[in-house]
Structure 1
């Protein structure tokens, strides 16, 4: 099954990503849209600190747009360090300006697949990377 950049979004996939993130954070899942919950970068940064604190040593929860965009960048940079290929990353505007929430969901699915290999102790999300023929 190919994964195109179709405008139709997979709300089940987005919902699973949110549940996966908050189960790892050990927090209740907030109400709201996928992109609204993740938009300021704070949840993504706290999530990355939980799974790989070495890759995201500090970030500042903030209401300031510049800081929020910076937090999203901290997260995507950590994804690169974990091994997510650039083609599977999302741009800051995809999330912050809600240009392409499906790109964010796709990146989280790839991250979940990679973590199934690196951190089998965590709950699973996304296809295992061996299933999509990606070796590192």
Structure 2
């Protein structure tokens, strides 16, 4: 938006980031957001087209996002923040930052979050999609309508002391073997001559 055009390696890196964006997944995210908001009677109208420009336009002020997290976790956003759409850039970034803080409290992993600039300046909209999918998985786990595949559960295994001791005596094939290994008879290159 307000940045110079990238050139060289920066342009190549940005092209790779932009190529990861999938309009179908973005559309799926916006439809899920609309469903959650409709279930909570939040009357916010927006187009669910997954086009990059529409996706950014719907979410880049943070207004829809704070309503989304407030619908999943009622009362987590102060009511004053939910009244009007922000128009100033710093207010938009403040709402997005508030949304991201509430996601951490909701249980979303740090690596699935996005940076505020990823959304406000459309730097990496794919990361925003990843974040919304993570939120959808966590929401399903907490009893709401979910998005994407179901989040996996832990598979804890409990071994007896006898089983653990038996495993200590096994030499794995990955460890290899050094039986009979020595450097005897190995010559590489010309031997060093002290006297010519």
Q: Residues 24 and 31 of structure 1: is their aligned pair in 2 closer, same or farther, counting only changes over 3 Å? A: closer
1:17, distance to aligned residue in structure 2 (A): 0.4
Deviates more, 1:29-38 or 1:80-89: 29-38
Q: Residues 115-126 of structure 1 correspond to what in structure 2 (within 5 A)?
A: 115-119=139-143, 122-126=144-148
**Distance (whole Å) between structure 2 residues aligned to residue 111 and residue 31 of structure 1:** 18
Q: Deviations for 1:51-89, whole angstroms, at most 9, x for unmatched residues?
A: 112332342531011000000001111100001111110
Alignment equivalent of 1:30, drawn from 28, 31, 47: 47
Q: Deviations for 1:9-32, whole angstroms, at most 9, x for unmatched residues?
A: 111110010000011111554266
Deviates more, 1:60-69 or 1:22-31: 22-31
Aligned-partner SS, 2:147: coil
Q: How many equivalent pairs are there?
A: 128
Structure 1 residue runs of 4+, over 3 Å off?
A: none
Normalising by structure 1, we get a TM-score of: 0.83
Please tell me whether residue 56 in structure 1 is matched to residue 77 in structure 2: yes
Structure 2: gaps of 5 or more residues: 1-16, 156-196
Q: Deviations for 1:69-111, whole angstroms, at most 9, x for unmatched residues?
A: 0000011111000011111100000001110000000000011
**Distance (whole Å) between structure 2 residues aligned to residue 123 and residue 29 of structure 1:** 19
**Distance (whole Å) between structure 1 residues aligned to residue 48 and residue 25 of structure 2:** 16
Bigger share in helix: 1
Please tell me whether residue 130 in structure 1 is matched to residue 152 in structure 2: yes
Instruction: Specify the structure having the higher radius of gyration (Cα).
Output: 2
**Distance (whole Å) between structure 2 residues aligned to residue 104 and residue 40 of structure 1:** 13
Aligned to 1:69: 93
Identify which of structures 1 and 2 has the higher relative contact order when contacts are C-alpha pairs closer than 8 Å and 6+ apart. 1
Question: C-alpha root-mean-square deviation of aligned residues, in Å?
Answer: 2.3
